[in-house]
Structure 1
Amino acid sequence: MTALLMEPVPTPDAATGSLAARFAQRLVVRDAPPPPPSQEPAAILARIQAWLIPPQGVRDARTHGRMARMLVALMEHLELSTEQLQAAAGLGWRAGSRMAQELLTRGLTERERRGRFFYHRLTRAAEDALLLVVAGPQG
């Protein structure tokens, strides 16, 4: 037992190099850029959903998921009819119409009536904002 107490305690310098080298390595790790945000579809949808949450908090996560799917569809296409937008989001006509109206109310989309159909497209402000959301937070 006393033999263990008599052994010298290894100093940090002896174990892994000098203090300066260890400190420099820590600063390299600290200053390294963060990994780029994931561009997987699920990660993009999650970022858009988080962006859609009002400042007072989540009221209905399912609604935000539906709207996020519609926004992704509109990012992929210049414009879509209401029926195409509903199908792209995997929604029926009633829920799809409500979500399209919510996007319009929030100023994220605009719509134009041509004949019997409405066509939806992203507003310029929504395009600019969504580009930042989809690209993800940068370090």
Structure 2
Amino acid sequence: MILEQIFHLSVGREAKIVVRGQVARNRSEMIIDYEFLIREKHDTDFRAPIGPNHPQYWKLKKSTAEKSQLLQLEYSGISRKQLKEVTREFKRLVGPGYTFRYQNEIEERTKYLKGIRVSALSRRLLSVA
């Protein structure tokens, strides 16, 4: 099962969270995995937040799968509240009777994730542009 949800961020960027659920062998457990994508104002398609031209690309390639996914989440601008909202919606769509396990323990590691912060001056500049 796949759930995609798009969030409009305050800096003129859109962020998409793709939640994939895969039923485990025992049929009562669902394994959840996330993918984080962004789209700037001038882009037509969604892309990964950290690509080959990004200054932190080297860190992404050196990291484990879990750490690289956390880096993608951090640079996407998605807040912890938005991540929890999508996870809650996914669990609601799947329905009762499943226990959920995470591919990478993202929710527990996003304790201080705040999303993109924009000052009042930046908001005014973005609204004019």
Provide the TM-score with structure 1 as the length reference: 0.27
Bigger share in strand: 2
Higher normalized helix content (fraction of residues): 1
